Structure 1
């Protein structure tokens, strides 16, 4: 049970950290994922948040897997 809880927490932290990194990158590019409507800048910001979240999740999983193998 503890193993599953730890795995879930690592997944959640990786996703949130990645999504925040994607959000920060979007804001640096001048894209606002929370802007009204679905213009190009808004969709670009949403896309970067999603991609960042997925990348953060995968990175967290790989780091945990690498640590288990060591």
Structure 2
């Protein structure tokens, strides 16, 4: 079986395939802040490590706080 290596920064299509979700779902959830990603002009980009952390976490908020590194101790 051939092993596929994904880049560190994923496109919308790569993230959709990785999560096995429709691209519309990934965009919608990213716009809501539920999936960590960035819109750069008209294109979405996702850090694979952030997606992996998000999948492992109980809360998408926890991943975002961890990635930013600020307000991590703030429960509000």
Structure-2-length-normalised TM-score: 0.24
The structure where strand makes up a greater share of residues is 2
| Higher alpha-carbon Rg | 1
The structure where helix makes up a greater share of residues is 1
Q: Greater RCO between the two (CA within 8 Å, min separation 6)? A: 1
